Structure 1
Amino acid sequence: MRIYLPSTFPGLAAVLDAGEIGPAPLTAFAVTERLAGVGAADDDEELEYEALSGAAAASLRLLAADPGAPRRRAVIAAEAPAAVVGPSAAADDHAAAVTLTGTVPLKRVASVHVDAPEAEEAVAAAAADPDAGISEEHELLWYATQELPDLLGRR
């Protein structure tokens, strides 16, 4: 099952160092029956985008809690066994919210999605009020897993 995990640059570094996503439990986002039942999206790609967007919004809340983190949203896309993905604990969560109940090895990470450096000012403003969100003009950029060290300035 494809899941999207909200993160920050320090969070990405921790995943790279540990070689896995964890420790559980973690909030993630996925195409859930609840999301598909909303009727807002017509196809699987739109549903995946809604799940990714939910994770990006959650990344803003993580940034609000970590003022030292670079002001760029980060989302990890990974394949997780259905056995470690459970329903969200909170009834008022995003329709795509799920709970990751186990760790996911780095080799199961499909990609990383982050803001461009030019979005830092807008992300900083949005992190000050995460519920307000961020302008849709700032789309997350796609990075392959092997690009993670370069993205984090480790090469």
Structure 2
Amino acid sequence: MPSSTMRIYLPSTLPALAAALAEGAVRGEPLAAFAVTPALREQHGDGDGEELEYEALRAAADASLRLLAADGAAPRRRVVIAADIPEAAVRAPDTGGDGHPALVTVTGAVPLKRVASAHVDDEAAADDIAAAAATPGAGHEDDHELMWFATQELKYLYE
């Protein structure tokens, strides 16, 4: 019987994406990710599947902004990696209820063959993203939607 998969959204940065492509996997155990969870469904009771996926993606983009705040050398572009992994690799985080309702923990690395796409800010958003990374929660990033990139395009993002 095949195992079921779950779409997760991994917050990242361009240097971390480059490292994942070079290594063949997104590593770091445990990995914090975002997904459509029962808690997210409960919070957005009337949301359909697409709306819930978008909420999980946005939560990962916010987490990417925090990664940028911690890495002053990374280009000021949020990165979210979308992957489909076995549900058995996804756990509820040990946050005591203080985390985002879409927050999950991924056990093990996420191989590139599981990556479906990446969502990245346009270069034109860099100034607003830099301002948002300097003052998280200010909302400067809210004016920018992430662009979608197919897996075969990812290597061109950091060259």
TM-score using structure 1 length = 0.95
Root mean square deviation, CA, Å: 1.1
Q: Give 3-state SS (helix, strand or coil) of 2:137's partner.
A: helix
Aligned-partner Cα distance in 1 for 2:79–2:44 = 27
Deviates more, 1:113-122 or 1:84-93: 84-93
Counterparts of residues 4-153 of structure 1 (less than 5 Å): 4-39=9-44, 41-90=46-95, 91-153=97-159
Please tell me whether the aligned partners of residues 41 and 47 of structure 1 are also in contact (alpha carbons under 8 angstroms).
no
User: Structure 2 CA distance, aligned partners of 1:89 and 1:106?
Assistant: 26
**Runs of 5+ consecutive residues of structure 1 not aligned to the other structure:** none
Distance in 2 (CA, whole Å) between partners of 1:10 and 1:36 is 32
Q: Report deviation, 1:80.
A: 1.1
Unaligned runs of 5+ in 2: 1-5
What is the CA distance between 1:102 and its match in structure 2?
1.2
Shift, 1:41, TM fit: 4.8
Q: CA separation of 1:128/1:40 partners in 2, compared to 1, >3 Å: closer, same or farther?
A: farther
1:23 Cα offset (Å): 2.4
% identical equivalent positions: 59
TM (normalized to structure 2)? 0.92
> Once the 2 structures are TM-superposed, how far is the Cα of residue 35 of structure 1 from its aligned partner?
0.1
